[in-house]
């Protein structure tokens, strides 16, 4: 099985300050990676030496979100067997092209996986001219991380000749997969790679937790070998939980570094204490279940403390040196210039492991969990733990370890990036209001969601009268989209902010800018389902707010003229409709019929009574009782005209206690004596 190969960066063309190519030797959530110098000349080159001679099977590149090279070329090199101190000529493997990233608005990073089949000790990456975009003002190229996967090769082997078993596997595999693979030895590509060796693992995991996971994985393999499957199952579950813990700690670490950059040292201290408390609690649980020895963790912690930067799973053997101190590099370049003219480029099989990996901070991409196996996906987040003050994700991870009490969420650093799904569905809002505002509307932190709605409110309120109608329409429709999303929010303040924004759109924006009935209809038509559904909310406060707003909205002059709301309220009611939703419909109907009447309002005797007769058959007694009261109100207004919508007043009908009381109430209204049965 191909495994992760450690390497040392031995030369590079140049770099921007604090973004040395040495950063590529380490994989962690907080690594910054390499950046070329500003306004550098192209191509830019990076040469790495692997810790051992190996047969490379797969390369993984994590590109920057906007400092993107149009093309990355690969060369493999080896030592001369006759003279180990001398380097043989580099051999060109081919190249891969990187996406411009325009579709994601330069907010995502491309993780490119490249399948190769080459043996050597040195690997050179050549970066060509950057894709031009508005954010890359200095025409730089960058690489956040690189991962090399392969198998060690004996130094005496001069060519990667497959063994008999490998040839048999190749033959069998080629008959089944020949259409999807290319290269000199397709069988290698079918070899599985451990998820713990994948670049995504180290880039999103806390380094210390990553080491523990690898330790537990080794232990799990040993348990499988000894056929102790119950223990192996426990270890598998512990590894899955620890991966979520590691991602959470990695996120804390990024937030801590972000706070340090902002010189917000109180937040940085809080994050540090949060991490330590969370880490200790998880380790104690591991020890409690006899999954790990605390002495092992303490030794690992001491080892990590000795290193200023967390290393990858294999430590580099030597330090890199600046380009000015490597005269060998000039000779290498001269050799390569000659060799490139002689060697025909070979195709490199490449695939997108993830077309776009969203990131929270400029140096911290997030993994697309939909690509993970079902058992490895993170669980839905809970609210914050009251004692340890953990993030919602951390609370979910430890929910099985002890009781928790939910508490209000808090603001925790930077905005989360928009997912690919969010970017696709919110195209118009992003175009009108920008990525940051829309990211706030999609944030997991309720205060960001509320702030985004208030920001939209402010933008609409400040629109000048001379703004083109097309632009006004787009602004309104984008605001309606965000409003509709916020109407389903469970946080009361966010829901109230959405009502505030919606009120302004309906009462002021559409009217003052004379957008007309069509845009008003568009607005109401899009928000109505979400707004009506909140009238069935279990929380009394939210349900009351929704009912009050619909009642208020229905009497707006422009909205009333559309007669949209009356038509929606009198749609037939099913006997199985949820009780709270049915009660809210009846309550709204009663109030609006009283306010608007049944003449030219959208309410008529016919549609109201047809609705009420359905409500009289509802399975809930409270719904039927309220329907009876509204029928009595309609009898006050329309008198005997409503009787044609009800069953006949005869002994058979009066056997139903509901209709008996209803007909008796009619007699009382008319001043007659009720019939005796």
- Tell me, letter by letter, the H, E, C secondary structure of 10-60: EEECCCCCCCCHHHHHCCCCCCCCEECCCCCCCCEEEEEEEEEEEEEEEEE
Residues 6 or more apart in contact with residue 280 via CB below 8 angstroms = none
Q: pLDDT band at 126, cuts 50/70/90?
A: very high
pLDDT of residue 297: 52
Instruction: Say whether 524 sits in a helix, a strand or coil.
Output: helix
Q: pLDDT band at 191, cuts 50/70/90?
A: low
pLDDT of residue 632: 87
Is the pLDDT confidence value at 387 over 80? no
Q: Which of 269-278, 469-478, 591-600, 664-673 has the lowest mean pLDDT?
A: 664-673
Percent of the chain's residues with pLDDT above 90: 13
Cα-Cα-Cα-Cα torsion 173, 174, 177, 178, nearest 10 degrees, comes to 170
Compute the residue count for the chain: 677
How far, in Å, CA of 118 to CA of 92, rounded? 10
| Residue linked to tokens 């279940």 | 289
Q: What angle do CA 239, 213, 260 make, to 5 degrees?
A: 110
Is the pLDDT confidence value at 522 over 70? yes
DSSP run (H or E) holding 146: strand 142-152
- In this prediction, residues 646-668 reach a mean pLDDT of 84
- In this prediction, residues 521-526 reach a mean pLDDT of 89
Instruction: Tell me which range, 154-168, 409-423, 637-651, is most confidently predicted by mean pLDDT.
Output: 637-651
Q: pLDDT band at 336, cuts 50/70/90?
A: very low
How far, in Å, CA of 627 to CA of 645, rounded? 14
Q: Which residue has the higher pLDDT, 372 or 10?
A: 10
Q: pLDDT band at 169, cuts 50/70/90?
A: low
Is the pLDDT confidence value at 400 over 80? no
Is the pLDDT confidence value at 356 over 50? no
Q: Which residue has the higher pLDDT, 320 or 483?
A: 483
Q: What angle do CA 364, 18, 39 make, to 5 degrees?
A: 100
Flag whether the pTM goes above 0.75: no
Percent of the chain's residues with pLDDT above 70: 74
Tokens standing for 365?
A: 């991409």
pLDDT of residue 76: 92
In the 8-state DSSP scheme, what is residue 400? Answer: G
Q: pLDDT band at 310, cuts 50/70/90?
A: very low
pLDDT of residue 157: 53
Output helix, strand, coil percentages for the chain, rounded to the nearest 5: 50, 15, 35
pLDDT of residue 408: 33
Is the pLDDT confidence value at 230 over 90? no
pLDDT of residue 493: 86
Is the pLDDT confidence value at 409 over 90? no
- Of 565, 572, 492, 481, nearest to 526 (Cα)? 481
pLDDT of residue 187: 42
- In this prediction, residues 188-216 reach a mean pLDDT of 79
Residues 6 or more apart in contact with residue 543 via CB below 8 angstroms = 534, 535, 536, 537, 580, 584
Q: For residue 570, count other CB atoms closer than 10 A to its CB.
A: 22
Tokens standing for 191?
A: 């070899």
How far, in Å, CA of 555 to CA of 592, rounded? 8
Residues 6 or more apart in contact with residue 523 via CB below 8 angstroms = 476, 480, 502, 505, 506, 510
- Residue 77 β-bridge partners: 122
- Of 219, 246, 504, 224, nearest to 367 (Cα)? 246
pLDDT of residue 469: 87
Is the pLDDT confidence value at 225 over 50? yes
Is the pLDDT confidence value at 386 over 50? no
Cα-Cα-Cα-Cα torsion 392, 397, 400, 405, nearest 10 degrees, comes to -10
Q: pLDDT band at 123, cuts 50/70/90?
A: very high
- In this prediction, residues 422-448 reach a mean pLDDT of 87
What are residue 583's phi and psi, to 5 degrees? -60, -40
pLDDT of residue 414: 61
- In this prediction, residues 655-659 reach a mean pLDDT of 85
Q: Which of 61-65, 179-183, 268-272, 484-488 has the lowest mean pLDDT?
A: 179-183
Cis peptide before 481 (omega within 30 of 0): no
Tokens standing for 251?
A: 């996120």
Residues 6 or more apart in contact with residue 42 via CB below 8 angstroms = 127, 128, 129, 141
Q: pLDDT band at 165, cuts 50/70/90?
A: low
- Of 223, 58, 67, 213, nearest to 148 (Cα)? 58
Residue 355 CA to chain centroid, in angstroms? 14
Q: How deeply is 633 buried, as exposed, middle or buried, from its count of CB atoms within 10 A (0-12, 13-18, 19+)?
A: middle
Instruction: Indicate if the alpha-carbon torsion angle 370, 146, 272, 304 is positive or negative.
Output: positive
Q: How deeply is 219 buried, as exposed, middle or buried, from its count of CB atoms within 10 A (0-12, 13-18, 19+)?
A: middle
How far, in Å, CA of 39 to CA of 452, rounded? 37
DSSP run (H or E) holding 7: strand 7-12
Strand 108-127 with 34-35, pairing:
unpaired
Q: Which residue has the higher pLDDT, 167 or 182?
A: 167
Inter-residue contact 535 to 582 (CB < 8 Å): no
In the 8-state DSSP scheme, what is residue 507? Answer: I
- In this prediction, residues 232-257 reach a mean pLDDT of 85
Summarised one tens digit per residue, pLDDT across range 607-654 is 888 889 888 888 888 888 898 889 888 888 888 888 888 888 888 888
How far, in Å, CA of 463 to CA of 523, rounded? 18
pLDDT of residue 285: 75
Is the pLDDT confidence value at 514 over 50? yes
| Residue linked to tokens 């290498």 | 332
| Residue linked to tokens 């490119």 | 112
Cis peptide before 43 (omega within 30 of 0): yes
Q: For residue 165, count other CB atoms closer than 10 A to its CB.
A: 9
Q: pLDDT band at 186, cuts 50/70/90?
A: very low
Q: Which residue has the higher pLDDT, 350 or 553?
A: 553
pLDDT of residue 47: 93
DSSP run (H or E) holding 61: strand 44-63
Instruction: Tell me which range, 130-134, 228-232, 569-573, is most confidently predicted by mean pLDDT.
Output: 130-134
- Kindly list the distances between the CA atom of residue 171 and the CA atoms of 2, 164, 185, in Å, as whole numbers in the listed order: 19, 11, 10
Is the pLDDT confidence value at 372 over 50? no
Residue 669 CA to chain centroid, in angstroms? 61
Q: pLDDT band at 12, cuts 50/70/90?
A: very high
Residue-averaged pLDDT of the chain: 76
């Amino acid at each position: 099985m191909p495994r992760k190969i450690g390497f040392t960066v031995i030369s590079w063309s140049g770099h921007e300050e604090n973004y040395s190519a040495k950063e590529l030797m380490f994989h962690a959530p907080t690594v910054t990676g390499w950046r070329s110098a500003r306004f550098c000349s192209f191509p830019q080159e990076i040469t790495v030496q692997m810790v051992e001679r190996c047969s490379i099977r797969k390369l993984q590149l994590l590109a920057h979100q906007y400092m993107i090279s149009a093309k990355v070329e690969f060369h493999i090199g080896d030592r001369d067997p006759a003279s180990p101190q001398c380097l043989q000529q580099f051999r060109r493997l081919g190249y891969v092209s990187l996406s411009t990233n325009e579709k994601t608005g330069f907010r995502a990073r491309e993780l490119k996986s490249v399948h190769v089949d080459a043996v050597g000790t040195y690997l050179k990456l050549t970066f060509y001219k950057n894709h031009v975009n508005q954010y890359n003002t200095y025409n730089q190229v960058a690489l956040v991380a690189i991962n090399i996967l392969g198998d060690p090769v004996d130094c005496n082997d001069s060519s990667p000749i497959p063994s008999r078993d490998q040839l048999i596997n190749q033959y069998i595999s080629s008959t089944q997969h020949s259409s999807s693979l290319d290269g000199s030895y397709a069988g290698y590509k079918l070899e599985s790679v451990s998820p713990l060796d994948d670049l995504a693992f180290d880039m999103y995991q806390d380094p210390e937790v990553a080491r523990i996971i690898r330790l537990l994985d080794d232990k799990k393999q040993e348990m499988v070998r000894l056929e102790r499957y119950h223990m192996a199952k426990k270890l598998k579950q512990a590894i899955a939980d620890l991966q979520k813990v590691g991602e959470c700690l990695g996120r804390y670490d990024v937030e801590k570094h972000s706070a340090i950059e902002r010189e917000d040292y109180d937040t940085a201290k809080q994050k540090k204490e949060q991490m330590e408390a969370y880490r200790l609690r998880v380790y104690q649980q591991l020890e409690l279940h006899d999954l790990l020895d605390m002495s092992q963790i303490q030794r690992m912690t001491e080892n990590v403390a000795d290193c200023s930067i967390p290393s990858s799973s294999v430590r580099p053997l030597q330090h890199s040196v600046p380009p000015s101190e490597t005269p060998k590099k000039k000779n290498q370049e001269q050799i390569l210039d000659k060799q490139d003219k002689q060697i025909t480029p070979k195709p490199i099989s490449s695939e997108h492991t993830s077309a776009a990996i969203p990131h929270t901070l400029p140096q911290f991409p997030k993994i697309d969990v939909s690509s993970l196996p079902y058992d490895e996906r993170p669980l839905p987040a809970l609210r914050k733990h009251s004692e340890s003050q953990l993030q919602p994700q951390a609370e979910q991870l430890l929910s099985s370890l002890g009781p928790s009490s939910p508490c209000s969420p808090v603001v925790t650093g930077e905005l989360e990036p928009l997912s690919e799904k969010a970017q696709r569905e919110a195209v118009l809002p992003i175009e009108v209001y920008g990525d940051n505002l829309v990211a706030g509307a999609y944030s997991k932190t309720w205060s960001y969601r509320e702030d985004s709605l208030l920001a939209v409110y402010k933008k609409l309120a400040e629109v000048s009268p001379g703004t083109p109608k097309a632009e006004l329409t787009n602004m309104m429709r984008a605001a309606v989209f965000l409003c509709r999303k916020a109407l389903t929010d469970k946080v009361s303040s966010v829901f109230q902010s959405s009502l505030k924004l919606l009120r302004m759109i309906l009462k002021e924006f559409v009217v003052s800018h004379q957008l007309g009935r069509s845009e008003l209809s568009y607005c109401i038509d899009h928000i109505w389902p979400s707004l009506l559904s909140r009238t069935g909310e279990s929380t009394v406060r939210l349900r009351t707010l929704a009912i009050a707003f619909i009642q208020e909205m229905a009497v707006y002059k422009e909205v009333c003229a559309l007669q949209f709301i009356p038509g929606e309220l009198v749609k037939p009611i099913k006997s199985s409709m949820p009780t709270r939703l049915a009660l809210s419909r009846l309550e709204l109907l009663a109030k609006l019929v009283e306010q608007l009447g049944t003449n030219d309002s959208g309410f008529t005797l016919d549609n109201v009574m047809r609705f009420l007769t359905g409500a009289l058959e509802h399975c809930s007694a409270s719904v039927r009782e309220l329907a009876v009261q509204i029928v009595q109100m309609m009898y006050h207004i329309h008198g005997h005209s409503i009787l044609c919508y009800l069953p006949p007043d005869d002994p058979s009908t009066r056997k139903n206690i509901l209709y008996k009381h209803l007909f008796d109430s009619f007699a009382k209204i008319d001043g007659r004596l009720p019939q005796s049965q």
